[in-house]
Amino acid sequence: MSRRKDDIQNSYSRLLQKIKDFLFSRQSREFLIFLFFFFISAAFWLLQALNNDYEVEFSIPVRLKGIPNNVVITSENVTELRIKVKDKGTVLVNYILSKNLLPITLNYSDYKSSNNRIRIFSNQFEKPVLSRLSASTVLLSVKPDTLEYIYATGKSKLVPVRVSGSVSAGREYYISDTIYSPDSVVVYAPAHVLDTITAAYTAPVSLEGISDTLKYQAPLAVVKGAKFVPDKIGLTFPVDIYNEKTVEVPISGVNFPADKVLRTFPSKVNVTFRVGSGRYRDVNGEDFFVSVSYEELIKLGSRKYTVKLRTVPRGVSNIRISPGQVDFLIEQVSPNVN
């Protein structure tokens, strides 16, 4: 071990010596001098280039705020303005490095009209655009040159929330419930659209292999001409682990005549199943029902009956019955005489 450590130290020392020899060599000094002048030249070239004028296109976010809950924007929502500007490269680089110019906010109440249409022309938002630019920047164009919003004043109703998509637990786990917060939302829409909406569905959710309780924020799927308040909900998926349990269940005869009785061998079967740990103690043999009707046995033409479960409690799975078949006998009995 000590020898190996010495070898590593020696290799490291030799490497450092080679680096030192290279840095202090004539070739190294010439290369470093070349790099120095190269970077100086590049810096002067960049400064000269940035001192020239350029035309560049940017986007500015635009938002319409103060929209009442019962107002539904039915047209395509404009979310940004594309502006073309001219200025020196140094100013334009500053715009690029800042990534996003401050958004322009428009108030619904300032532009609402009696014909359910909002039109905002370029000369109305040109001043807010210029206020976000440097004094030296020339504004060449703004697209679109008109912002238009078509809206409807909708009626409302309360609708339940439903999950759209796929949610599954990992092996040996299961999702015991889906908890919505809130479990219903108000939808605003024109009457002809409102009549077609019976529930608010989330945008498609894809969650697989969950092994612990999960909280998830889901936006509601967009319905054209409708507005959901709120437009996103919280989902909680409680996850439980499966346990295996076995109970005894008697076999019962159904619809037998008064003078006949069913005898099965054995008289009870073992039912094995998977159930979540939260319900393990609650599920018992009384929750299952195994029965066979007199008419079914008469038509069977055999002395063996394949056991069937008639009642199964909620939340159990992977059910196995042992034995799967039983021998039976229909026994004649004397009716009681009063």
Q: What is the pLDDT of residues 220-251, one digit of tens each?
A: 998 888 889 899 999 999 988 888 899 999 99
Using pLDDT thresholds of 50, 70 and 90, give the confidence band for residue 106: confident
Decide if pLDDT at 317 tops 80.
yes
Decide if pLDDT at 1 tops 60.
no
Alpha-carbon Rg of the chain, whole angstroms?
39
Alpha helices in 212-273 (DSSP H): none
Top pLDDT among 290 and 104 is at 290
Decide if pLDDT at 276 tops 80.
yes
Average of per-residue pLDDT across 94-102: 67
CB 295 within 8 A of CB 313: no
Average of per-residue pLDDT across 26-39: 62
Task: Tell me what percent of the residues of the chain surpass a pLDDT of 70.
Answer: 82
Position 270 scores a pLDDT of: 95
Average of per-residue pLDDT across 122-132: 79
Average of per-residue pLDDT across 205-227: 90
Average of per-residue pLDDT across 27-51: 59
Task: Tell me what percent of the residues of the chain surpass a pLDDT of 90.
Answer: 22
Position 215 scores a pLDDT of: 93
> What whole-number distance in Å separates Cα of residue 58 and Cα of residue 48?
23
Copy the structure tokens of residue 338: 């009063």
pLDDT, tens only, 54-94 = 777 888 888 888 888 888 887 777 788 888 888 877 777 77
Using pLDDT thresholds of 50, 70 and 90, give the confidence band for residue 3: low
> What whole-number distance in Å separates Cα of residue 277 and Cα of residue 62?
52
Top pLDDT among 98 and 169 is at 169
Decide if pLDDT at 49 tops 80.
no
> What whole-number distance in Å separates Cα of residue 178 and Cα of residue 234?
10
Residue whose C-alpha is closest to residue 71's, from 116, 32, 114, 31: 116
Instruction: Measure the CA dihedral 296/301/307/313, to 10°.
Output: -10
Decide if pLDDT at 42 tops 60.
no
Position 179 scores a pLDDT of: 92
pLDDT, tens only, 128-160 = 888 778 778 888 888 888 888 878 887 889 999
Average of per-residue pLDDT across 204-231: 90
Position 12 scores a pLDDT of: 64
Position 220 scores a pLDDT of: 95
Average of per-residue pLDDT across 252-259: 87
Top pLDDT among 4 and 117 is at 117
CB 211 within 8 A of CB 172: no
Among 16-20, 34-38, 50-54, 332-336, the least confident range: 34-38
Q: Which helix (H) or strand (E) holds 110?
A: helix 108-111
> What whole-number distance in Å separates Cα of residue 98 and Cα of residue 90?
13
Position 162 scores a pLDDT of: 95
Strands (E) located in 33-91:
53-65, 71-73, 80-88
Decide if pLDDT at 35 tops 80.
no
